[in-house]
Amino acid sequence: NNIAKERQALGLTQEQLAKLFGWRQSRISNYENGTRQPGLPECRLIVEKLNELVAFALLIAFSRQKARF
């Protein structure tokens, strides 16, 4: 599942990801195990939020690397 892969790559639990959206953990679990399918608006929201988190993580990593030099 792509949601699970991205969530895990960011080091987030289902609960933490759910809180970012104001959802229950069970909703994320259902999306990840295929019990429930997100609609287009939810897909867009998930992609946007995960992209923001990745960009933030990269910014932090870059800042730390730059500080070493």
The residue with tokens 């399918």 is 37
For 7-48, write each residue's pLDDT tens digit. Answer: 998 899 999 999 999 999 999 999 999 999 999 999 999 999
The pLDDT value recorded for residue 1 is: 81
The pLDDT value recorded for residue 69 is: 62
Q: How far apart are CA 15 and CA 20, in angstroms?
A: 9
The pLDDT value recorded for residue 4 is: 95
Q: How far apart are CA 24 and CA 31, in angstroms?
A: 11
The pLDDT value recorded for residue 66 is: 76
Supply 35's token pair. Answer: 């019990």
**Higher pLDDT pick, 20 / 66:** 20
